[in-house]
Amino acid sequence: MAFQIAGVELESRFFLGTARYPSPAVLEQAIAASGAQVVTVGLRRQLAAGGTPNDLQLIRDSGVHVLPNTAGCHTAREAVNIARMARELYETNWIKLEVIGDEYTLQPDPFELLAAAKELVKDGFEVFPYCTDDLVACQRLLDAGCRVLMPWGAPIGSGQGLLNPTALRTLRARLPGVPLVVDAGIGSPKDAVQAMELGYDAVLLNSAVALADDPVTMARAFRLAIESGRLAYEAGVMAKQEMAVPTTPVTGRPFVL
């Protein structure tokens, strides 16, 4: 199940967020249970909490790739500044680019997002843009130099699952060679299975694990769901039929196997 994203080969297709866990110990155990090789960290959240991230060493010790994000930014300029700070702090040119345009839905601002992406790509970043499932907006981000896209399944933290699987299916069909990661809105393992059966390369989630009664067990549940969904996609999920189709051949006369 190995695949490449931004020039790095990964075995796990599970990207895990690190916010809102009950304790650093639970976060550490959840990362291990998930099998994730990429975790996201929010610099603005950490700075608001009072300085440098106290879980940075824990994350580094887990051996994962750190994907800083610009969560909480509302303009391209703000996102670019946070990205540059994150590069210095986390020593990586990877950045999950978030530029929010609506406070209620936390929907990305496609114009500010594109402007920030263009500047960061020129500045040597590997940009992972959090975007909507709009095909044209996604194509513009690719034109700007992004090599990975992270379309939402539903609003951040809503747990509503994939609200528009048709749009996500269209993205996958029209952008066959682009790594696509469903990001935001995943609420249960069945949502992750659905995303992977659509042919998406990975799933990123946070709240569904961090806020579970047992985050460690939930992390393992999502790990198995993502693996099974990918295997189902590779094996070929049977097409739905409008009518019943007999599974036992009928020859018109009895026979014994």
Annotated binding site: 157, 184-185, 206-207
CA distance 257 to 255: 7
One of 96, 118, 122, 190 is an active-site residue; which one? 96
Mean pLDDT score across all residues of the chain:
91
pLDDT beyond 90 at 45: no
CATH number at residue 24: 3.20.20.70
Domain that holds residue 140: 3-235
Average pLDDT over residues 175-183: 96
Average pLDDT over residues 20-46: 90
Q: What percent of the chain has pLDDT over 70?
A: 91
221 lies in a domain? yes
254 lies in a domain? no
Counting the structural domains of the chain, the total is: 1
pLDDT beyond 60 at 201: yes
256 lies in a domain? no
32 lies in a domain? yes
225 lies in a domain? yes
Annotated binding site for 1-deoxy-D-xylulose 5-phosphate: 157, 184-185, 206-207
CA distance 193 to 209: 15
25 lies in a domain? yes
b (16+ CB within 10 A) / e for 86-107: bbebbeeebbbbbbbbeeeebb
pLDDT beyond 50 at 188: yes
89 lies in a domain? yes
CA dist 156 → 38, 120, 254 (Å): 19, 23, 58
253 lies in a domain? no
Can 96 be counted among the known catalytic residues? yes
Confidence band of 50 (pLDDT split at 50, 70, 90) = very low
> pTM (2 decimals)?
0.90
Structure tokens at 107: 């929907």
Query: In this structure, are strands 3-5 and 8-10 parallel, antiparallel, or unpaired?
Result: antiparallel
pLDDT beyond 70 at 47: no
